Amino acid sequence: MLQVKEQLTCDVLIIGGGIAGLMAAVGAAEKGASVIVAEKADTRRSGSGATGNDHFLCYLPEYHGDNKKEIIQEMEESQIGGCCDPELFELFADLSGDQVREWHSWGIDMKPRGDWEFTGHAKPGRPRIFLKYAGHNQKAVLTREAKKRNVRILNHHLLNQILLNDEGQVAGAVCLDVTEDIPSVQIIACRSLIMCTGNTTRLYLPKTAGWMFNTANCPACTGVGRASAYRIGARLINLDMPHTHAGPKYFNRCGKATWIGVYKSMDGKPVGPFVKKPTRELGDITGDIWMEMFEMRRKAGEPVFMDCTETSPEDLEYMMWGLSNEGNTSTLDYMKEEGIDLRRHMIEFQQFEPILVGRGIEVDKKCASNVPGLYAAGEETGNFRGDIGGSATFGRLAGTCAAEYALKNRSQASPELKKLPVVQESLDFYEQLFTRADGTGHPGWKEANVALGQIMNDYAGLEVRSENMFKAGLIYLRRLREKTRNILACTNSHDFMRCLEVLDLMEVGELVMLCGRERRECRGKHVRVDFPFTNPLNNNKFLQIQKVSGEPVLTWRNKR
């Protein structure tokens, strides 16, 4: 039996110490709440913002002027749009400027060239919405700011279950301490919990066979927030709408944001409608908002390249500086070692596998879910997406609101969580994972992850979606999940963590399939070969999924 450590107690428990989680910690602590952050790795370098970023979505009145509406429209029509509630855009626009100024005061340089500068990800003739900043130190700074406010950070602690009290309110969580070779169980009692577990990688597999962790976003973010929230009755939203990134083909970590060039065919023809000549002001937004282009060109027999050979020397230097701030130093090191010279070489780009960024837990204007005491922020949320800017701004807001809720409920006695049936079941299951691993041929997590990924790629992927593909995929995935739960095994903390990750991913995968099947139309990257029409009756609607009496229930609601 795994060792169960003494129960910890706090007002606000935050799961995930990425950008949203650390900002939530700051927000909650400033309200006077006692705060614990449970982080799977180490907050100094965890999550998709681990090594930096260089573009921060925001509305800054002193730069943009009073035309907030136009800026919001531009956000909706950028790569982050499509699944956001207008009321959250409005709120984000109102709060994001303060967040920029606060980060700058903490030592994350938000005007590294002396003044506010908005460049890249832009359409010609339209306002620019991404602030260029030097975020290479963002995780170290945010960790320091959280600690300054007496936030307790538990590194190498992952979440497995959220716990409810008899009234159905959040009462705590089961976390696993994976610091040592054999994990121990850490139960944490809390009055509110903020889910900040980021993206969902390794649900679909990248094209590089055998290299599941070769992903643009952090491959340790594997859907525990969505899965555990769903299990306690939280509504998830927009899982039916796939999203993808694009970037250098096969070297998926690179990302594409900061490149200053033009997407071109091999013979030098621009493939997108926006730019013919490279400029730092615009970049080439084709790869942000029309990623299908890569596959369309490939099927026409044409690889697509990022061509920086006509970029001015000043813009090229600016781009390399941006890549470094964005945390893409491994790309820069690699290009140097390999002798890649962007003045004469162009690099092939591709569309990456789908991820659930901004698809997940539904929140209101207080970042609260429908479950009392459960909040969410960052890429975890299903009805808003703002990347780093969104994670920072709504992370802080979630912290404030979750703390207010917790402090109001402080008089409530915290139950002895270890005795809850779900805790006992979980402990039994952990035990099984370890005792099965006795050399009798039980599979490990890798087999399970590959098996899941291939089903997702083929039956809920980008290429073909249809009623019967979802139907078959659901049968295969449910069978796989059941089998996996019964035979999966591990021998140490690392593999134990991966086992739990894969099981969460399987649960999320099933929900993706149920939602995809329900959306019987084409919309964005959700391409139903059996329903080729985009139904205008759905233009204002999002699809939700929630567990009711043990069964998934799908509902549509209007955008708000």
Distance, CA of 31 to CA of 313 (rounded, Å): 49
* 494 near another protein, judged by CB under 8 A: yes
Question: Among residues 251, 321, 429, 531, which is the contact residue for another protein, using CB under 8 A?
Answer: 251
Rounded to a whole number of angstroms, the minimum distance from the CB of residue 252 to another protein is 7
* 266 near another protein, judged by CB under 8 A: yes
Name which of 321 and 531 has its Cβ closer to another protein. Answer: 321
Question: Among residues 161, 244, 252, 311, which is the contact residue for another protein, using CB under 8 A?
Answer: 252
* 253 near another protein, judged by CB under 8 A: yes
Please choose, from the candidates 375, 394, 372, 374, the residue with its C-alpha nearest in 3D space to the C-alpha of residue 384.
394
Distance, CA of 51 to CA of 135 (rounded, Å): 8
Rounded to a whole number of angstroms, the minimum distance from the CB of residue 266 to another protein is 6
Residues 338-397 that bind another protein (CB under 8 A): 338, 340, 344-348
Binding mask 285-314 for another protein (x = CB under 8 A): --------------------x-x-x-----
CB 1 within 8 A of CB 433: no
- Using the rule CB under 8 A, give the single segment among 60-68, 252-260, 355-363, 369-377 that binds another protein: 252-260
Going by the DSSP 8-state scheme, the letter that residue 205 receives in this structure is P
CB 422 within 8 A of CB 162: no
Q: What type of residue sits at position 517?
A: R
Q: Tell me how far CA of residue 465 lies from CA of 237, 439, 516, 530, in angstroms.
A: 19, 40, 8, 8
Other CB atoms within 10 A of residue 463 CB = 10
- Using the rule CB under 8 A, give the single segment among 103-111, 202-210, 274-282, 522-530 that binds another protein: 202-210
* 258 near another protein, judged by CB under 8 A: no
* 329 near another protein, judged by CB under 8 A: yes
Rounded to a whole number of angstroms, the minimum distance from the CB of residue 342 to another protein is 9
Distance, CA of 93 to CA of 394 (rounded, Å): 11
What is the signed CA dihedral for 80, 241, 253, 349, rounded to 10 degrees? Answer: -90
* 491 near another protein, judged by CB under 8 A: no
Name which of 86 and 268 has its Cβ closer to another protein. Answer: 268
Residues 267-286 that bind another protein (CB under 8 A): 267-268
Question: Among residues 16, 21, 27, 47, which is the contact residue for another protein, using CB under 8 A?
Answer: 47
What is the signed CA dihedral for 318, 324, 329, 332, rounded to 10 degrees? Answer: 0
Name which of 128 and 253 has its Cβ closer to another protein. Answer: 253
Give me the DSSP letters along 491-556.
Answer: SSHHHHHHHHHHHHHHHHHHHHHHHHHH--S-BTTB-BTT-----GGGTTEEEEEEEETTEEEEEE
Total interface residues for another protein by CB under 8 A: 50
Name which of 45 and 152 has its Cβ closer to another protein. Answer: 45
User: Token digits for 83?
Assistant: 């699944």
- Using the rule CB under 8 A, give the single segment among 19-27, 113-121, 247-255, 468-476 that binds another protein: 247-255
Q: Tell me how far CA of residue 426 lies from CA of 13, 182, 423, 433, in angstroms.
A: 20, 16, 5, 11
* 41 near another protein, judged by CB under 8 A: yes
For the chain, how big is the Rg over CA atoms in Å?
Answer: 23
Question: Among residues 220, 357, 388, 474, which is the contact residue for another protein, using CB under 8 A?
Answer: 220
Contacts to another protein by CB under 8 A: 41-42, 44-47, 50-51, 155, 178, 208-215, 218-220, 248-254, 266-268, 305, 307, 309, 327, 329-331, 333-335, 338, 340, 344-348, 494, 497
